[in-house]
Amino acid sequence: IKNSEKFSINLYTGASTGDELDRVLACIERLKLKIPYQSHSDLRKLINQGKVNFIDMHLSHVSRYIREGIFPPIDVAVIEACDVTSDGRIYLTNSSGMSGTYLALAKDIYIELNEAHPLDMKGLHDIYLPELHSGRPINIDYVDDRIGTPYVRVNPERIKGIVLTNKYDSSPGFKKPDDASFKIANHLLDFILHEVEHGRIPKQLLPFQSGVGNVANAVLACIARDNRFKSIEMYTEVIQDSIFELLDSDKLRFASTTALTFSEEGQKRFHSQLHDLKSKFILRPMEISNNPEVIRRMGLVTMNTALEADIYGNVNSTHVLGSAMMNGIGGSGDFTRNAYISIFMAPSIAKGGKISAFVPMVSHVDHNEHSVQIMVSEQGLADLRAKTPKERAQLIIEKCAHPMYKDQLKDYFQHAQRVSFGLHTPHDLKQALSWHVRLQETGSMHPDHQKIKEPISKDTEKAARKIDQTAAPKK
């Protein structure tokens, strides 16, 4: 690739990948199109500069788009495995993701046989690809149900090469949750127990889906330390190092996921205990882990992170100032729309108070008010179920907004009710995005912050970095 002057590729992945792929291809500028997710700063910069095309989409939709020919066909699949047999059985490693689909459709296959992963990884996966247009249900009722095979099978003639490696995934180190994250987690646990007391969640609880990042890690850590929780199940997209706290407290009954994104230390621990842990984990293809039918049937409690939310409960998960891509929607939409209870979490402020996570109107909508049931920050929790738009606004302002922005939000809401075209969801369209404009011009959403010497850079990557702390990386 380095020696080819005009060579560029369309890159399809499961979700985020490491430095070895996204960073390298970004640095040599050989990417033409990336789908369906990304989380590397170098690639993000090129996307926001318009130099790389990026399609941000629900992860559960990707397989069908490829299998039905909506996306251009796959020429080459490069897949990591812990073992491959002469009859074409490929045993995957830390991720199932989209591997089954890519292996089924690629013209040529190359296997990275990674000896860092023990052969005991064989048996962790449950590979099943649903038939297109069959209308048949996916027969998964419980998180530990198995309906497929522990390997992907291909015609061995399509395997054009096998490369031996011995290297752990380049996942970022595990970052311990901060104080705000633990406060959010405690609000969430109190809410879940409240739902149990009122009979809306059974005493044995419902399976949890948890996004990634500080807040998600804090939730699992608090469950591990809280004696009121005895045992939990997870049906999720990504599992991080925080799962070890649940294992150490003997509270994890079972976890289903599509990928393990452990730190190097976490990978080593998982491998060393793999013989005992295999009875508690399944790795599924993304079209199963994120499948709306299965999510709805299981009745999941889903917990995802918002970049920002507005007073009516609309959530922006992806775009800084409405235009600069952060990472992508990932699987948050798959889980949120089909959840039994959907929860969004965010620290109420970022950058020392220059940015409020709660605004009059979001600059981009990923999850609309009809899908968002619970909103929570370190300030408190707002139950938005069975509430009118105006009731939701009052709750979010009172329960979730930071004190330094609460009066401003109240003022906007009262003003909007006086001047709005309609009063079902009051807005003043002249002022609705004024907070974002102020942030772009002065570096702060708050009118009393001293104006910085230079306005926020028009370089979207710089702008993204300034708000990066309010977004959590996904799978």
Are 356 and 348 a contacting pair, CB within 8 Å? yes
Span of 130-134, 273-277, 344-348 with lowest mean pLDDT? 130-134
pLDDT of residue 5: 62
pLDDT tens digit string along 107-166?
999 999 999 999 999 999 999 999 888 789 999 999 999 999 999 999 999 999 999 999
Among all chains, which residue has been given the structure tokens 């812990």? Answer: 82
* Measured CA angle at 241 (ends 240, 246), to 5 deg: 100
Binned at pLDDT 50, 70 and 90, residue 174 comes out as: low
Helix (H) / strand (E) element for 104: namely helix 99-105
Q: What is the pLDDT of residue 421?
A: 98
Give the domain-ending residue among 25, 55, 85: 55
Pairwise CA distance, residues 468 & 457, whole Å: 15
Closest of 412, 380, 414, 420 to residue 396, by C-alpha: 380
Residue carrying the six token digits 């299981």: 298
Of residues 276, 271, 89, 256, the one with CA closest to residue 168: 271
The two structure tokens encoding residue 428: 């003043």
Residue 450: predicted pLDDT: 53
**Res 97: pLDDT:** 95
- Give whole-number Cα distances, 49 to 38, 54, 261, 342, 441, in Å: 15, 11, 28, 34, 20
Please determine, for residue 254, whether its predicted confidence score (pLDDT) is greater than 70: yes
Of 12, 32, 55, the position where a domain reaches its end is: 55
Residue 192, in any domain of the structure: yes
According to DSSP, residue 127 is labeled B
Nearest to 95 by CA among 59, 147, 66: 59
Answer yes or no: do 47 and 191 share one domain.
Answer: no
Is 115 an active-site residue?
no
The answer on 324 and 183 residing in a single domain is yes
Domain-located, residue 403: yes
Residue 133 lies in a domain: no
Domain final residue, candidates 13, 28, 55: 55
Residue 272 lies in a domain: no
Quick one: average pLDDT of 226-234? Answer: 94
CA distance 384 to 43: 36
Taking all residues of the chain, what is their mean pLDDT, rounded to a whole number?
92
Q: Residue 4's pLDDT is what?
A: 54
Is residue 245 pLDDT above 80, yes or no? Answer: yes
pLDDT at 460 over 80: no
Residues 6+ apart with CB under 8 A from 354: 439, 443, 444, 445, 446, 449
The residue range of the domain holding 12 is 1-55
Confidence of residue 452 (pLDDT cuts 50, 70, 90): very low
Q: What is the Cα–Cα distance from 242 to 347, expressed in whole angstroms? A: 19
Residues 6 or more apart whose Cβ sits within 8 Å of residue 448: none
Given 80, 195, 233, 237, the catalytic residue: 237
| Domain at 445, CATH number | 3.40.1080.20
Write down the pTM of the prediction: 0.92
Query: What's the structural domain count of the chain?
Result: 2
Q: Is the pLDDT of residue 463 over 60?
A: no
Buried residues in 426-460 as b, exposed as e (16+ CB within 10 A): bbbeebbbbbbebbbebbbbbeebeeeeeebeeeb
pLDDT at 83: 98
Phi, psi of 343 (to 5 degrees): -125, 135
Does residue 217 belong to any structural domain of this protein? yes
Residue 279 falls within a domain, yes or no?
Answer: no
Confidence (pLDDT) at 20: 78
Taking only the tens place, the pLDDT of each residue in 426-439 is: 999 999 999 999 99
Q: What pLDDT is recorded for position 23?
A: 81
Which H or E run contains 164? strand 159-165
Range of lowest pLDDT (81-95, 164-178, 361-375): 164-178
Task: Residue 276: count other Cβ atoms within 10 Å of its Cβ.
Answer: 9
State yes or no: pLDDT of 409 exceeds 60.
yes
Domain membership flag for residue 385: yes
Q: Does 3 or 363 have the greater pLDDT score? A: 363
* Domain membership flag for residue 316: yes
Q: Which residue from 338, 287, 332, 259 is spatially nearest to 64, judged by alpha carbons?
A: 287
DSSP element (H, E) containing 220: helix 214-225
Instruction: Inform me whether the pLDDT recorded for 39 exceeds 50.
Output: yes
Length, in residues, of the chain: 475
Counting beta carbons within 10 angstroms of the beta carbon of residue 462, is it exposed (0 to 12), middle (13 to 18) or buried (19 or more)? middle
Residue with the larger pLDDT of the pair 173 and 153: 153
